[in-house]
């Protein structure tokens, strides 16, 4: 219980503290940010340990006639641990990236607030709490999206709000209808709708898919994500590749496994459509990515594609598919964060933001580009990296769930990923150098490079020793099947 | 003495502010004394409302009936402090205290000299007394009298500022509101003709017998009341007077007009619809469908019109038109859940709109700017004011943990129970539109570069008033408990014979 409170409150407390610290005391501020993020990470690990040990940590309250509760389960714990751990890396990277930039106080303060809100999404024990944190996530991240305050950033911010608030409104409708049908909104104790009247469930599933699909960037609801790439790179890395979009994915996993349940979903007509929506998003996303010249936009479209890997795994409604989804969630998040870190380093050090100007970057920034190359292999899903196992189980789940064409889609997507990024790597190492020569040293660069390389090492570690994440994944699969 | 006060409380709640309003004009020179007396009167009202609520709660919801002059109904006039009555009394008196506090020492700048300030307080107390009367009255003709008092004092409040625009707005309001009063009076007259009673309970019973014989007359009476109160409550498309009136009035007046006066008419409408005509008749005449349709158009059109406004106070005024749509939509749901939603939303909107209008007024006073895009950087320079505005906005958008969410939740659930999909969609679209018209204000205030000007939060009473309202928005959102319970009982009572 105490661990849960610690995990959830550290971000809010830190965010408020940062907000009142004088803007000029940047060193003190960094220490505060690091300390409170550390507290949050510690709290999340404690929660995870307790949940895996089979304890129930429940904080419940009431809002009028509505119950509101936090009740971490294995799936929530995986998401929370992932977010918390990556938050620590991102915070350190931000110390380097944001140094000397404007509006730092706002940045760190909302980064910490968002930390709490993300953990709130992970630990929500019922639909009301999930909706609350889902909505708050949009608002708490808005200042981070418009961090640059440029005209483009403001427009992107408006788009971001419009898409996400509309999505949340649809979600609220779905939740109200669920309340009207099932009466109960808590996740604990099996799927909510398992014993309902089963009328209008297809429509309900559609509403849930749209509501969470906006944040999960399910096509055609994905347009806000590439636009939100105007945010600073650490924000893009954490929020638009992990925390915010994962909140959508996480929500959909909740819908599949906690609201409807795989058995009931198998009987619904609309379910048959969902894997194909995911498949189309996977392929179209990555194909659109190959056509982007701006590096961050290319990564954004790739994110759209890879998020649907996870959804595809869930929509197979098979234990292996779920295992694949969770594995993919973990492996992909670490590598994608590293990927964005590399792109941010390249942009900060050489000013290169476009693929067409990448020639020779590898000679200037060898370590960064080496990390970039390894991550590229991970994005394709090759063995020494963690994402291989995710993909393996996703394919296994697809075949076992009787949807073998999905396995082909996954393989094809891996191939297009290769087409999309291998030439960039080759060009960076072989081409004629066009950018100004810079060193890869200095305190600021180290702050950015160290988390990047560490994440790549973790990605390799997960590939070589998948056993280290397997207990967490097994706990999720056992919980729902 | 205390026993005397206690037994006469339902009438004292109405009479006390009216009486204080009478004795204020001779004291006009001693402005501090005027302020103190007016404040005492509203605080007394709030205390009395709290006591009545406790009594009704202790009696498990059975009403505190007061017979004026000791004459029993149907001969005498009845005041009923039942669930609905104390619910609205709490809302009226609860909002009137912070709004009055906001005016303390601050009105001279907005309305001019001491004489005009006193006049403002006189009108304000008349309005509060009449609204309290609307909460407890159980007599059709009393409703008409109170409606007139509210209308005239509103009219005076709108024109309180020395400005040609204010005079014009007040005149438009006067013309349209008089039309509304005439319609209401027509409705009441028809009801009296049909039933021979002015007491609501007796009229309702009699109407149940009479209406098969006079279906057209009943239909006329229903339409007269809906249109009459609709004009006064700014129900779209009868809202044309509202934006000018509410945007030009001094900010405490805007707060009370948008927050409470409009609601008073809606409570009267509710009493007529469910207390006199009754649910069966409404369904028979398909009135609930008309109400729902009016609500839906009100929400959508009001929100879109609000979106088109560049001035902050006008945007808030149009937002009131949209919010009235929610309430009428809830009235049309014809089930307890929907009515609970409408009632709770009514109280929550009263508090929220007061907070929004007061903070907008404080901003306008400090900066002299009206347009939203000129408000860049206000959030940094006036933190308390903008915090209250932000909390109010979150409430109006309907984020969980803020009071608006609970109202919207029950409205959605109620509409769905009524088997209507359109209102459900409208409520949700309204929330998104509400975010679209309020968030730009917050964005400009916090995230746009601040100019080099010395803007400051208003004085201590003003800040206290804003904080009180913001706290209530949060408190109602997190712990709606007894207040929601009161709304639930009131709704159940209104639908008891249905």
Q: What is the mean pLDDT of residues B53-75?
A: 83
Q: Quick one: pLDDT at residue B107?
A: 79
Average pLDDT over residues A160-180: 89
Instruction: Select from A181, A229, A196 the least CA-distant residue to A343.
Output: A229
Three-state DSSP at A408 gives helix
Structure tokens at A334: 């670490």
- In percent, how much of chain B has pLDDT > 70? 100
How close, in Å, is residue B407 to chain A by CA atoms? 10
Can the peptide bond before residue B74 be classed as cis, meaning omega within 30 degrees of 0? yes
Smallest CA-to-CA distance from A373 within A384, B492, B98, B434 is with A384
Question: Would you say residue B35 lies in a domain?
Answer: no
pLDDT at B498 over 70: no
Could you report the per-residue pLDDT of A28-48, keeping only the tens digit for each?
Answer: 888 888 899 999 999 999 898
Average pLDDT, chain A: 85
Write down the ipTM of this complex. 0.86
Q: Is A67 on the interface with B (CB under 8 A)?
A: no
Q: Measure the N-to-C terminal CA separation of chain A; round to a whole number of Å.
A: 26
Assigned domain for B404 exists: yes
Residue B428 counted as domain residue:
yes
pLDDT digits (tens, 9 = 90+) for A306-339: 888 888 888 888 888 888 889 888 888 888 999 8
Q: What digits encode the pLDDT tens for the residues B130-189?
A: 999 999 998 889 999 999 999 999 998 888 888 888 888 889 999 999 999 999 999 999
Task: Confirm if B369 and B332 have CB atoms less than 8 A apart.
Answer: no
Q: What tokens does A88 get?
A: 């620590």
> What six digits make up the tokens of A161?
């709000």
**Mean pLDDT in residue range B43-58:** 89
pLDDT at A478: 83
Is pLDDT above 70 for B346? yes
Judged by CB atoms closer than 8 Å, whether chains meet at A63 and B439 is answered as no
Cα B266 to its chain centre, rounded Å, is 8
Domain that holds residue B383: 332-498
Answer yes or no: is B370 within a domain: yes
B478 touches chain A (CB under 8 A): yes
A-B Cβ pairs (cutoff 8 Å, strict): 64
- Pick from B407, B432, B436 the residue to mutate for testing the A interface (most A CBs within 10 Å): B432
Question: Locate tokens 């109170």: which residue?
Answer: B146
Rounded average pLDDT over A205-224: 88
Looking at the complex, does the CB of residue B411 fall below 8 Å from at least one CB of chain A? no
Query: Which pTM value belongs to this model?
Result: 0.90
Q: Hey, is the C-beta of A181 within 8 angstroms of any chain B C-beta?
A: no
* Mean pLDDT, residues A233-262: 87
pLDDT value for B470:
93
User: Does residue B488 belong to any structural domain of this protein?
Assistant: yes
* CA atoms of B13 and B91, how far apart (whole Å): 13
Write the CA distances from A193 to A132, A173, B415, integer angstroms: 21, 16, 21
Look at residue A196 in the predicted model and tell me its pLDDT: 64
Q: What is the CA radius of gyration of chain B?
A: 21
Q: Residue B46 domain-assigned?
A: no
Section B78-89 average pLDDT: 88
Q: Which residues of B touch A60 (CB under 8 A)?
A: none
| Chain segment A392-420, per-residue pLDDT in tens | 888 888 888 778 888 888 888 888 888 88
What are the phi and psi torsion angles at B403 (to 5°)? -60, -35
Which CA distances in Å does A167 have to A173, B76, B150, B221? Answer: 10, 56, 42, 43
What is d(CA B337, CA B180) in angstroms, rounded to the nearest whole number? 30
What is the average pLDDT across A71-89? 90
Residue B497 has a pLDDT of 64
Per the domain annotation, does B242 fall within a domain? no
What is the number of structural domains in chain B?
A: 1
Measured between alpha carbons, how far is B489 from B492 in angstroms, rounded to an integer? 5
pLDDT tens, position by position, B227-280: 999 999 988 888 888 888 888 888 888 999 888 999 999 999 999 999 888 888
- C-alpha to C-alpha distance for A127 and B345, rounded to whole angstroms: 22
Q: Which of A219-223, A456-460, B209-213, B340-344 has the highest mean pLDDT?
A: B340-344
pLDDT band with cut points at 50, 70 and 90 for residue A197:
low
Does some domain include residue B62? no
| Residue in B409, B432, B478 nearest the CB of A176 | B409
Q: What is the pLDDT of residue A430?
A: 83
Q: Which pair of tokens denotes residue A273? A: 């459509």
């Amino acid at each position: 219980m105490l661990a849960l409170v610690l995990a959830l409150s550290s971000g809010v407390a830190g965010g408020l503290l940062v907000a009142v610290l004088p803007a000029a005391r940047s060193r003190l501020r960094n220490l505060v940010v690091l300390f409170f993020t550390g507290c949050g990470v510690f709290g999340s690990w404690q929660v995870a340990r307790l949940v895996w040990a089979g304890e129930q940590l429940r904080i419940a309250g009431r809002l009028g006639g509505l119950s509101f509760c936090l009740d971490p389960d294995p799936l929530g714990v995986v998401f929370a641990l992932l977010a918390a751990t990556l938050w620590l890396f991102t915070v350190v990277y931000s110390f380097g990236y944001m140094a000397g930039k404007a509006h730092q106080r706002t940045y760190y303060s909302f980064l910490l607030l968002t930390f709490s809100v993300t953990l709130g999404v992970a630990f929500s024990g019922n639909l009301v709490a999930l909706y609350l944190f889902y909505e708050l996530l949009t608002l708490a991240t808005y200042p981070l999206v418009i961090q640059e305050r440029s005209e483009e950033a403001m427009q992107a911010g408006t788009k971001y709000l419009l898409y996400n608030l509309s999505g949340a409104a649809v979600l609220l409708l779905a939740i109200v209808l669920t309340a009207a049908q099932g009466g109960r909104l808590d996740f604990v104790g099996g799927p909510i709708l398992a014993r309902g009247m089963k009328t209008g469930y297809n429509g309900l599933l559609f509403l849930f898919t749209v509501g969470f699909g906006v944040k999960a960037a399910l096509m055609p609801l994905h347009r806000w994500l590439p636009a939100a790439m105007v945010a600073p790179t650490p924000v893009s890395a954490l929020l638009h590749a992990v925390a915010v979009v994962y909140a959508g994915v996480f929500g959909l996993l909740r819908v599949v496994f906690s609201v409807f349940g795989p058995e009931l979903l198998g009987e619904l007509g609309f379910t048959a459509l969902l894997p194909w929506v995911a498949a189309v998003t996977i392929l179209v996303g990555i194909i659109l990515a190959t056509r982007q010249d701006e590096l961050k936009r290319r990564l954004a479209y790739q994110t759209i594609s890879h998020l649907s890997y996870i959804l595809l795994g869930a929509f197979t409604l098979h234990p292996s598919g779920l295992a694949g989804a969770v594995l993919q969630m973990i492996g992909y998040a670490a590598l994608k964060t590293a990927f964005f870190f590399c792109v941010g380093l390249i942009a900060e050090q050489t000013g290169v933001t476009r693929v067409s100007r990448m020639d020779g970057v590898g000679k200037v920034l060898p370590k960064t580009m080496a990390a970039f190359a390894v991550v590229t292999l991970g994005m394709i899903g090759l063995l020494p990296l963690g994402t291989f196992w995710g993909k393996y189980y996703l394919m296994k789940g697809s075949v076992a769930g009787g949807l073998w064409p999905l396995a082909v889609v996954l393989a094809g997507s891996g191939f297009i990923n290769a087409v999309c990024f291998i030439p960039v790597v080759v060009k960076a190492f072989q081409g004629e150098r066009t950018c100004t020569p810079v060193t890869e040293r200095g305190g600021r660069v180290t702050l950015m490079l160290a988390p990047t390389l560490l994440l790549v090492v973790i990605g390799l570690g997960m590939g070589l020793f998948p056993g280290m994440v397997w207990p967490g994944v097994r706990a999720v699969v056992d919980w729902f099947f | 003495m205390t026993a005397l006060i206690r037994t006469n409380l339902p009438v004292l709640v109405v009479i006390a502010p009216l009486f204080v309003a009478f004795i204020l004009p001779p004291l006009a020179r001693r402005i501090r004394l005027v302020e103190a007396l007016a404040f005492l009167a509203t605080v007394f009202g709030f205390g009395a409302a709290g006591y009545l609520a406790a009594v009704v709660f202790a009696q498990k919801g059975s009403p505190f009936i007061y017979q004026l002059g000791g004459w029993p109904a149907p001969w005498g006039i009845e005041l009923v402090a039942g669930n609905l009555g104390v619910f609205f009394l709490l809302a009226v008196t609860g909002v009137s205290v912070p709004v009055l506090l906001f005016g303390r020492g601050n009105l001279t700048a907005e309305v001019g000299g001491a004489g005009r300030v006193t006049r403002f307080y006189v009108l304000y107390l008349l309005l509060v007394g009449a609204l309290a009367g609307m909460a407890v009255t159980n007599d059709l003709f009393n409703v008409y009298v109170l409606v007139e008092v509210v209308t005239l004092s509103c009219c005076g409040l709108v024109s309180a500022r020395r400005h040609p625009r204010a005079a014009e707005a007040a005149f438009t309001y006067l013309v349209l509101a008089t039309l509304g009063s005439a319609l209401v009076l027509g409705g009441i007259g028809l009801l009296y003709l049909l039933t021979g009673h002015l007491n609501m309970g007796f009229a309702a019973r009699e109407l149940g017998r009479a209406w098969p014989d006079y279906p057209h007359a009943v239909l006329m009476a229903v339409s007269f009341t809906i249109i009459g109160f609709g004009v006064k409550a700014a129900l779209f498309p009868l809202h044309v007077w509202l934006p000018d009136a509410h945007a030009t009035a001094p900010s405490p007046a805007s707060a009370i007009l948008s927050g409470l006066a409009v609601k008073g008419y809606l409570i009267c409408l509710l009493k007529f619809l469910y207390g006199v005509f009754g649910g069966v008749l409404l369904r028979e005449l398909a009135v609930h469908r008309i109400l729902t349709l009016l609500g839906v158009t009100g929400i959508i059109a009001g929100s879109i019109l609000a979106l088109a406004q560049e001035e902050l106070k006008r945007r808030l005024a149009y937002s009131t038109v949209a919010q009235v749509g929610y309430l009428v939509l809830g009235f049309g749901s014809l089930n307890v859940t929907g009515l609970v939603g409408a009632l709770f939303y009514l109280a929550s909107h009263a508090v929220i709109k007061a907070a929004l209008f007061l903070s907008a007024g404080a901003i306008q006073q400090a900066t002299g700017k009206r347009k939203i895009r000129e408000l860049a950087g206000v959030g940094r320079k006036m933190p308390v004011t903008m915090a209250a505005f932000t909390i109010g906005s979150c409430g109006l958008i309907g984020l969980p943990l803020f009071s608006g969410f609970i109202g919207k939740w029950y409205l959605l659930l109620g509409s769905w129970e009524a088997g209507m999909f359109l209102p459900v969609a409208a409520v949700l679209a309204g929330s998104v539109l509400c975010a679209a018209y309020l968030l730009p204000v917050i964005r400009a205030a916090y995230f746009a570069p601040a100019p080099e000007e010395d803007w400051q939060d208003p004085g201590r009473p003003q800040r206290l008033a804003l904080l009180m309202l913001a706290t209530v928005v949060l408190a109602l959102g997190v712990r709606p408990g007894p207040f929601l319970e009161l709304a639930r009982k009131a709704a159940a009572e209104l639908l008891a014979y249905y």
